[in-house]
Amino acid sequence: MSAFDLAIEDYLEDLRVARRCSPHTVSNYARDLKAIARSAIAREIKNWQDIEGGDVRSIIAEQHREGIAGRSLARRLSALRGLYNFLIKLGRCDVNPASDILAPKDKKALPATLDPDEVSRLLSQNLNDPMICRDLAMFELMYSSGLRLAELVGLNLVDLDLSVGQVRVTGKGGKVRDLPVGKHAVEAINKWLSYRRMTPGADDKAVFLSSRGKRIAPRTVQMRLKKLAESQGLNRDCYPHMLRHSFASHLLESSGDLRAVQELLGHADISTTQVYTHLDFNHLAKVYDEAHPRAKRSEITEES
């Protein structure tokens, strides 16, 4: 057994016995530390004491290039810091070379969206059932105004001014913003309000109620959207925030006004909104590739 493995076994035993960590945690730490040890051995490092901060950075960078996710590397670094703290406590190491090293961040995934045809298909419903009518009103409003799930379920009747097509929402940090409401959403909400008056607990101040007359819960909204998408034959894993993403990307594609989209979404920093510019570019690139006679990458040749 190598010097690396001996130290790992001692540390894992301390986790199991002294710290009473779960078998799952111990297993994860064992796998992470052995992966780092293999990289160190490949660099001809003999034991944990010989590893320096630069070695740790290089090993983590190499593993990231090999496709290990940033979150997994963060866990590996956590395991490594724990190992070194253990070795320092026993007097077997003097410093912790991983103490100030951060894992690389993964590229932020682009938000999933529905295209306009999918939105129309999703929201094409029979309004004769009160609960379906309520669902349609909720999802029309989310797509119309880019609401977060928490903003939707927190809406009160006093927040609506349907005569002018406006809703007031309270977002993150208690920030209030007034948003326009499209005509389809206004119609759906008015229809729901006519049913709402006959719903148990209709004197409640919440706009959207459960079948028992209580303010609707976020989990219920998630489940109803999933069920609605399935009933409409959408082969997508639909969730409420997808409607907000769709609102933002469709509006940006049509207007190109990033600042306005930022204000409507309630983003404090425009860099948060800029993720939708990538969606916009993907849309433009697709149109370009399909329409431009010289767009096929494989046909492009280098000219002198």
Q: Which of 134, 244, 245, 250 is catalytic?
A: 244
Report the chain's C-alpha Rg in angstroms.
Answer: 27
Give me the catalytic one of 267, 278, 288, 297. 267
Q: Give me the catalytic one of 11, 84, 195, 276.
A: 276
Q: Please state, in angstroms and rounded to a whole number, the distance separating the CA atoms of residues 95 and 54.
A: 13
Active-site residue flag, 267: yes
From residue 138, how far is each of 64, 151, 191, 223 by CA, in Å? Answer: 42, 11, 12, 13
Catalytic residue among 168, 226, 241, 283: 241
Name residues whose C-beta falls within 8 Å of residue 107's C-beta, 6 or more positions apart in sequence.
Answer: none
Active site residue 172: yes
Check if the beta carbon of residue 104 is closer than 8 Å to that of residue 73. Answer: yes
Rounded Cα distance between 5 and 218, Å, is 48
Q: Which of 43, 172, 278, 286 is catalytic?
A: 172
Name the residue among 92, 81, 76, 74 with its Cα closest to residue 29. 76
AA letter at 231: S
Whose structure tokens read 């057994």?
A: 1
Task: List the one residue out of 258, 257, 259, 252 whose CA is nearest residue 279.
Answer: 252
Given 76, 134, 148, 245, the catalytic residue: 148
Is 278 a known active-site residue? no
| Catalytic residue numbers, as ranges | 148, 172, 241, 244, 267, 276
